[in-house]
Amino acid sequence: MKVLVVGGGGREHALAWRLRRDDPRIELYAAPGNPGIAALATCLSIGATQIDSLVAFARQERIDWTLVGPEIPLSLGIADAFTAAGLPIFGPTRAAAQVESSKSYSKTLMIDAGVPTARAAVCTTVAEAHRAIDEIGAPVVVKASGLAAGKGVIICATADEARVAADGMLAGGSFGDAGATVLIEEFMEGEELSLFVLTDGERVLALPAAQDHKRLLDGDRGPNTGGMGAYCPVSLTEQSPELVGEVLDTIVRPTLGAMRERGTPFSGLLYAGLMLTAAGPRVVEFNCRFGDPETEAVLPAIAPSAPLAGLMELIARGQRLPENIDLSATRSAVTTVLAADGYPEHPRKGDAIEMPAVPADVLVFHAGTARRDDGRLVTAGGRVLAVTGVADSLAVAQQRSQAFAASVQFAGRQYRTDIGWRELERRAGVT
């Protein structure tokens, strides 16, 4: 069977790894892939957003089904183009991808469906935004509605800060078109959780929950990034399975139902970014695809016997998803991201990477790497490698991840040494 993976980051490397592990007979192609994915797949010189070329390739090579990693091709309509060409694809249509590509769409959908989320006003003028800031009061969150590579969210301690942020987006063009509409949102307090749900549009299967670490530095300090690490599973959900049930019943199913009613059903992977507030779980955001770096921790934690590849193929083919399959975590996984010098503002490219042999129970997923003409592996993006340690306990998984991360060398390398700290603290408190 031939499968095409669209994308070329750590998430796509982890997906490619899991597909091959679930079904070694799969012949994999990746567009564009990366030097890590190249060990598992034939990498194509077609970019993830070259939709016409991807359709032509899938047709010509008789690709059985396609899996899309990043949000941008989905928001550009890659699933619509493949479906129109009769090619099975895992990922939502352009209309359904708006759960991520338009925060104003997503917020309106949640309000209509009665899904718990922060109160917010959708504003297109400075005057509206200022009124909403006064009404909601500080602290308050200002968000660009469109896709802004994870950067369009500004948490403001004071109303003055919020006015400056909103003016920058609406009048100053600080996020281009993405900031032409803004959300002024109530600030929520609690722990964050990433829950991935496979869905055929109606039936759902939850993957074990994960926690991301968005700040650059240890102790959750420093600027926000695309994610410096993740771990899975999270005991908050392991110890109270009813929490996941509550999220499915009060958040995921009503959202999918409202999307079906609007004639824009969502199929693929719905990522619920949640805040566990004192009043229960509430939605921070939805994403229309697997999260990065959570995927690099979630997929290795799930039992090898769980048929993820087969489930994704069913969804790609528009078939019914069985709901009685256990996808829970049987091991713990901790992923430490190695980022380039200057990340997140100005990541430097081209630094040579020295990597020792990878031990058992460590997986190295390539995120932003390239091969020079002389064969040397070099940095080629902000997040360079995702190093996942797997073990029966989270503490050992963390040690494995950290020890190998420390042994990888490149100039200006940045990484956190405390991924999973909340969980380790929680467990220390319990025993």
Query: By C-beta, is 88 or 420 nearer to ligand GLY?
Result: 420
Of 283 and 308, nearer to ligand AMP (C-beta) is 283
291 binds, among ligand AMP, ligand GLY, none (CB under 5 to 8 A by kind): ligand GLY
**411 φ, ψ to 5°?**
-60, 130
By beta-carbon proximity to ligand AMP, the closer residue of 34 and 145 is 145
Q: Smaller CB distance to ligand GLY: residue 146 or 227?
A: 227
Return the number of other C-beta atoms located less than 10 Å from residue 376's C-beta.
Answer: 12
Handedness of CA 37, 39, 44, 45 (dihedral sign): positive
Return the structure tokens found at 148: 């802004």
Report what 257 binds from ligand GLY, ligand AMP, none; CB cut-off 5-8 Å by kind: none
The two beta strands, 153-156 and 140-144, are antiparallel
Cα dist. 52→5, 58, 193, 248 in Å? 15, 10, 36, 36
CA distance 421 to 229: 11
Determine, following the binding rule CB under 6 A, whether residue 227 of this chain makes contact with ligand GLY: yes
Q: 301 exposed, middle or buried (CB, 10 Å; 0-12, 13-18, 19+)? A: buried
Which own/partner contact pairs does 165-174 have at CB distance under 8 Å and 24+ positions apart? 166/123, 166/126, 166/129, 166/130, 166/133, 166/142, 167/126, 167/129, 169/142, 169/144, 170/123, 170/124, 170/125, 170/126, 170/129, 171/126
* CB closer to ligand GLY out of 200 and 212: 212
Nearest residue to ligand AMP, by Cβ distance, number only:
285
Residue the block writes with tokens 């504003």: 123
- Tell me: does residue 283 bind ligand AMP (CB under 6 A): no
| Site pattern 241..280 for ligand AMP (x: CB under 6 A) | --------------------------------x-------
Q: Which amino acid is at 397?
A: A
Closest CA to 247 of 267, 285, 266, 274: 274
Our finding on whether 57 is near ligand AMP (CB under 6 A) is no
Collect all residues with Cβ–Cβ distance below 8 Å to 351 and sequence separation of at least 6. 340, 341, 378, 379, 410, 411, 412
Task: Identify what 294 binds: ligand AMP, ligand GLY, none; CB under 5 to 8 Å per kind.
Answer: ligand GLY
Specify the residue, 3 or 170, whose C-beta has the smaller distance to ligand AMP.
Answer: 170
| Residue, CB closest to ligand GLY | 291
* Residue 88-117 contact track with ligand AMP, rule CB under 6 A, x = bound: ------------------------------
Rounded to a whole number of angstroms, the minimum distance from the CB of residue 245 to ligand GLY is 23
Choose among ligand AMP, ligand GLY, none what residue 192 binds, the Cβ cut-off being 5 to 8 Å by kind.
Answer: ligand AMP
Contact partner at residue 187 from ligand GLY, ligand AMP, none, CB < 5 to 8 Å by partner kind: ligand AMP
Contact set for ligand GLY, span 291-310 (CB under 6 A): 291-292, 294
Residue closer to ligand GLY, measured from CB, 8 or 291: 291
- Contact with ligand AMP (CB under 6 A) among 162, 188, 205, 339: 188
- Give the C-alpha separation, 367 to 308, whole Å: 22
Interface stretch with ligand AMP, choices 78-86, 148-156, 235-243, 302-310 (CB under 6 A): 148-156
- Distance (Å, rounded) from C-alpha 73 to C-alpha 93? 10
Q: Which is nearer to ligand GLY, 117 or 287 (CB)?
A: 287
- Does the footprint of ligand GLY cover residue 268 (CB under 6 A)? no
For tokens 């190998």, the residue is: 404
Q: Tokens for 167?
A: 């003016």
Which range touches ligand GLY (CB under 6 A), out of 19-27, 101-109, 284-292, 370-378? 284-292
